[in-house]
Structures are given as C-alpha cells and as structure tokens.
Amino acid sequence: MLEAYKLKDTSCTESIISKGKDFLQLADFSTEEILHLLDVAQELKAKQKKGKPHSFLSGKVLGMIFEKSSTRTRVSFEVGMLQLGGHAIFLSSKDLQLGRGESISDTAKVLSRYVDGIMIRTFSHDSVEELAEHATVPVINGLTDLHHPTQVMADLLTILEHKGKLSGLKMCYLGDGNNNMAHSLMEGAVKTGMHISIASPLDYLPNAKITEKAMEVGKHTGSIVKVTTDPQEAVKDADVIVTDVWTSMGQEEETEKRLKVFASYQVNEELCKHAKNDFLFLHCLPAHRGEEVSAEIIDGPHSVVFDEAENRLHAQKAILKLLLA
C-alpha cells in the first residue's frame, strides 16, 4: 500500500519528469511522476488564487489540434498557457492541411519547427502516437477514443483536495467501460494506490489489455481492480463514483440502443445508497441529466463536478510546466 499522500513544496525541487516527454497515457508515468504532477498542480493553483506570478512558460507556444469539439479542453489549455506566460494557437483539423490529406508525420515535423509543444484532441489513439513519433516537441493527448489522461489528472487532483488522500480509497465507474474515461481512470487509480471497480454491460467492458496491465500494476501499489456487470456490486462502499455520457462523439447513431442497454447503470439516489455516506460524485462533462446521472446526484451535495472542471486548468498547467519549461 502506498503511503498517505502529502503535499510537497516543489518550488525549488527539480522535476523528476524529463523535459520533452510526451503525455499520451497515464500508464507511461510512474507513481512518483504522477504524484509530482499533483504537487505541482496544487502549487500552481495556490499561486493563482493568491495572485502570485508564475510565468514559467514565457515565450513558449502550444499548438492545439482539434478534430473533436471541446469546451473544457480548449479553454483550460488556452487559459493555462496564458497564465503561465505563454501562448496557445487553436488549430482546427479543417483549417490545417490534415483536412486535405497531409500526412500526420509531415504535420508533426512542420509544427515542431514552429511551436514548443502540441496538444491534440482526436479520435484514433494511433494518430496521437504517430504524431508523437515524428514530432520533436512534447505531444499531449487532449483526448482520444482510448484514453483521456488530462481529464483523469484533474479527477485525481479533485479527489485529493476533498478527501486528503488517494491511496486506499475506492473509486467506482459506471456505464460504458470501453471508453477513454474508464481506461484512464483505471491507469490513474492503480498508479496512486486507489481501488477501482467498473460496472458495464457485458458487451461494453473495458479494453482487455488495458485492464490486464492495470491489474498487474495494482499488485505493486496495493490496488484492486474489479470489472463486473453488476452496478450495485461495483458501487458498494465506494468513496468516489464516476460516470460519463453513454453516447460519446462519433457514436450518435447508437444513441437509442445505448439508452436501453445502460438504463440500469444510471447514477441515482437509489444506487448511491450502496456507497459510503460521504461519497464524491465526478463527471467529466458535458452531462445528460436523466440519462447517465439523475439531477438529484449531479446537482446535489455529493457532486464536485465543477471543482473537477476547474481543476482541468490546474492539472494541465502542471503538465505544461513540467514538459515545456
């Protein structure tokens, strides 16, 4: 079991994360690196709240490629670069030559001559890996169909703020297990010593390879990973309950089918009776009230979804500082 988490002053501490490292999935980072990122995120958040300057990226430029629409990812990265003293450029795939057939490798090589880092929000995880392979600057995964690591860093930061620790807590994820949130939550949980249970219909279980690897990591950090089709079993004694939309971008034609398949996985007051009395509710947003979560839960006292949304900014500033500074 990991020791209880304690915030460290990182202002004079050399980063243990190599400058120039890509941020593609949490499995690529050690427990120490993830905890270091959380330390830096809290430090930067405190500086902002106190109005203290923290222009660690003065003169740096982040190129942001978007093939999927976004609210939180775009605004948090753009504002984050500004607050760190740098600049961000929004690059729609429709505006780039990518939209006209230029290869990912050529795009990576060209952008590397102009910017200090690239953030991409897209569909295929293979595209992000190819971009990182050919870029000579850090590449940050802002979301793919397989992983959403920047969101989960914000989730871990939010849980840490409200619970005072991560190790030993039980997280429960309900809904579509074969999506980016479930995969990155598994990776983040086992790296920080949290237990995680995922409840999904049989045809929507998490990626087997990602699950197997998470279980292996859990053996070293004291984390238990459980995958089930029973939502009540998964939510029993949970400290944190997480869900996501049942129909992600690109799956719109499956909406009616998914509404029926996931109906019993809705996070509502009845299901949450099986969790701990002081459970937290998280959702990466946007949310569909009355579908994956009831209004009573997401707008109720257990919900920290807007703290979670704010923490996208602080967690991503830590990532940007450590990779680009």
- 42 labeled binding residue: no
The three-state secondary structure class of 51 is coil
Q: Which of 44, 45, 74 is nearest to 62 (CA)?
A: 74
- 232 labeled binding residue: no
Q: With beta carbons less than 8 A apart as the criterion, state whether 144 and 136 touch.
A: no
Beta bridge partners of 141: 120
Residue indicated by tokens 């807007």: 306
- 9 labeled binding residue: no
- 149 labeled binding residue: yes
User: What pairing do the DSSP bridges indicate for beta strands 170-174 and 139-143?
Assistant: unpaired
- 12 labeled binding residue: no
- 180 labeled binding residue: yes
| Torsion over CA: 52, 315, 216, 133 (sign) | negative
Q: Read off the tokens for 64.
A: 């942001």
User: What pairing do the DSSP bridges indicate for beta strands 87-92 and 139-143?
Assistant: unpaired
- 272 labeled binding residue: no
Give the DSSP H/E element, type plus range, for residue 295.
Answer: helix 295-298
Residues labelled catalytic: 121, 148, 151, 244, 284, 312
Q: Return d(Cα 311, Cα 313) in angstroms, integer.
A: 5
- 150 labeled binding residue: yes
Q: Which of 132, 105, 124 is nearest to 21 (CA)?
A: 132
- 136 labeled binding residue: no
- 289 labeled binding residue: no
DSSP 8-state assignment for residue 273: T
CB within 8 Å of 310: residues ≥ 6 apart:
none
CB within 8 Å of 112: residues ≥ 6 apart:
118, 135, 136, 137
Residue 6 burial (CB < 10 Å; 0-12/13-18/19+)? exposed
- 113 labeled binding residue: no
Phi, psi dihedrals of residue 171, rounded to the nearest 5°:
-105, 140
Q: Within 135-261, where are the H helices? A: 149-163, 180-191, 208-221, 231-235, 255-261
- 178 labeled binding residue: no
- 151 labeled binding residue: yes
Q: Read off the tokens for 152.
A: 């989960």
What residue numbers does the annotated binding site cover?
70-73, 97, 121, 148-151, 180, 244, 248-249, 284-285, 312
What residue numbers does the annotated binding site for carbamoyl phosphate cover?
70-73, 97, 121, 148-151, 284-285, 312
What residue numbers does the annotated binding site for L-ornithine cover?
180, 244, 248-249
